[in-house]
Every structure is written in structure tokens, then in C-alpha cells.
Amino acid sequence: MSVTKEQLTTTAKHVLHALLFPFIAKQHQLKKIAAFVAFWYALLPSTAFLFPRAEEVLQREGLPPELVQELAPNRHIRVFQDTPLGATAVTLQHGPIRLFDLASRVFNPNISGFAAAPRLGSYGVCKVFIRQPKWYANVIGLRAEEAYRIDLLHEIRHCARDNAAFKGVIREGDADEQAVRVLARETNDENIALRLMFNRLNANSSHNTALYLDARLQGVTPPTADDLARLDQDLQTASTAFLACLQNAGEMKDDTITACRTETRPLYEGLDANPWFARYQSLVARSYVAAGEAWPRGASRPVAPGRSS
């Protein structure tokens, strides 16, 4: 039995209406709505089970799989790697409502990863999207391997219910804190936290968690989101000049830090009244030294990539 071109066109229109525009269909509307729901909120989300559990990914990285439940208790997490299949699958996980939101993250080369919490039709699975390890080759302040591990643990933490209770930069700070705590413990490397802080000092304001992270690890009351926003606004120009001075100085000595403070003093006028300013300057110097372990002094300064939750 032959199929005419007209029949194929009609069938294609029905399928298109069912999957994209079922609510404006003039014929078989209920059937098309049912097909729409089944396709977007049952079939596509089920493809998450084709991807590895977070425990498997950590095990491949030489980390204990139990860290998943430590970071995100009672969560089922699947990891989508940055491959054509993984990128496409994670984009389609939350139906047409979040299609463009997820696509804008997946196909933005400056975003290293994100976590998509369980929603309607997601089978209770939290989805983590992460770039390939080679993407982290030029991350400032961190070795590529540890940058990848931190990002992976960071996004796993975003799946936790208690992390979702935070907002904005504090939510990012909590994810950084929990990720670096477990990685420092597992690798027996305390300086990894300082290297991460140096990286975050070079991040955009939504992910500049360095002061929050430093305060939490030092056991003091951390800054609020408003504290960080005020300081970030005042420091945008001044901090760039201070870091450039330290980098150009070569050897790190006390008199180098003093000279750089003097040189950039006009840019910092009025900042002494901010209680977080002195801690910020101290953190810049301390984290710069630690970052030197991963960033050879003779190498050109790499660009700090952007990140997303």
C-alpha cells in the first residue's frame, strides 16, 4: 500500500500539533494533549536513566561514591557529560517550558555546568550537567583535574534540599564550601580551598564566593549577600589593579604587598569603613600564593571562565 505525499504531510502536521501545539488543535485535542504530556513529561525524562549515577562518576574519579549522599542526602542524581548526546538529552529533560533556559546554559561555552532539581515528570532525578575535563585546562588558580572535581561536587551539592533553601551568591557559597571540604579531606590538601578562593576572586559577582567561603572555613560569621554586593561594587576596578600589581611584581614578599597597596590606595578610598575590606585584601594575598602551586609564575594569566548553578 503506497503512501501519498499528502498523507505524509497530514500525519506530520498532526504529530507537530501533538508535540508542540496540542492546546490549539482543532481535531482530536484530548488525544494530542495526552501525547504531548506523555512525550515531554514521561518519555524524554526517562532518558535520564541512560546516563551514569553520580556515584559511578565519582568512583571513576577515584573518589568515594558515598560523597553523593554526604553532599545531597536522599537524592537520585544522574550526570550528563558534555557530549552531543548528553547535551541534547539534558536540554530536553524538563519539557518545553524550560527548553530554552537549559539550552542557553548547555550551549554557552563559558558555563561549566549546572544542576536541574527534580520537577514534575522527572522521576525524582536531579540532573547534573558537567563539561569534559579538558574544558578546565585554563581555569585560573586551579589544576585542571581539581577544577573538574570541584565543579562536579559543587553541582551535586546543588541537588541537596538544604542548598536550595539559599539564594544567589550564598547558595553558590554553600556549594563551594561543601565541595571543597570533602575534596580537601579526600586529597589531604588544605590549600585547595585557597586556590578555589583565588579562582572565585576572579569570577563574576554571582559566583564570587571567596569571602563567604573564607569566613565559613575560618569559623567566623560569613558576610551576607548584601555585604558581598556592596563590597563587589566598590572593588570591581580596584581589585583588578591590585591583582595585576601582584602578578607583575614577580616574587611574593611582604614589601611587594605593601607596595601594591600603596600603588592602588587612591582606588580604595572610603573602603576602610567596610568591615570586609581588610579581610578581602588579606585573602587576595593568601590565595595568590596558594594559586602559584597550580599556576606557574612564568605563564601568561589565563582567563577565568564563567560558571552557572
What is the 3 state secondary structure string of the chain? CCCCHHHHHHHHHHHHHHHHCHHHCCCCHHHHHHHHHHHHHHHHHHHHHHCCEHHHHHHHCCCCCCHHHHHCCCCEEEEEECCHHHHHHHHCCCCHHHHHHHHHHHCCCCCCEEEECCCCCCCCEEEEEECCHHHHHHCCCCCHHHHHHHHHHHHHHHCCHHHHCCCHHHHHHHHHHHHHHHHHHHHCCCCHHHHHHHHHHCCCHHHCCHHHHHHHHHCCCCCCHHHHHHHHHHHHHHHHHHHHHHHHHCCCCHHHHHHHHHHCHHHHCCHHHCCCHHHHHHHHHHHHHHHCCCCCCCCCCCCCCCCCC
Backbone angles phi, psi at 202, to 5 degrees: -100, 5
The C-alpha cell that represents 240 in the structure block = 583588578
Looking at residues 17-24, what average pLDDT do you find? 54
Q: Read off the pTM.
A: 0.78
Confidence band for 305, pLDDT divided at 50, 70 and 90: very low
Q: Please state the separation of Cα 236 from the chain's center in Å.
A: 21
Residues sharing a CB contact under 8 Å with residue 231, sequence separation 6 or more, in sequence order: 211, 223, 274, 276, 277, 280
Confidence band for 62, pLDDT divided at 50, 70 and 90: very high
Distances (CA, A) of 89 to 46, 99, 184: 10, 11, 32
Confidence band for 45, pLDDT divided at 50, 70 and 90: confident
- Please state which of the ranges 95-104, 151-160, 296-305 shows the lowest mean pLDDT: 296-305
pLDDT at 297 over 70: no
- Measured at the CA of 84, the angle between CA 81 and CA 89, to 5 degrees, comes to 70
The pLDDT, as a whole number, for residue 50 is: 93
Model pLDDT for residues 176-221, shown as the tens digit of each residue: 999 999 999 999 998 999 999 998 987 776 678 999 999 999 999 9
Cα atoms found within 13 Å of the Cα of residue 150, Cβ hemisphere only? 27
pLDDT at 233 over 90: no
Total residue count of the chain as it appears in this document: 309
> Where do the domains of the chain lie?
5-48, 51-200
pLDDT at 122 over 80: no
- Please state which of the ranges 35-44, 155-164, 244-253 shows the lowest mean pLDDT: 244-253
The pLDDT, as a whole number, for residue 192 is: 93
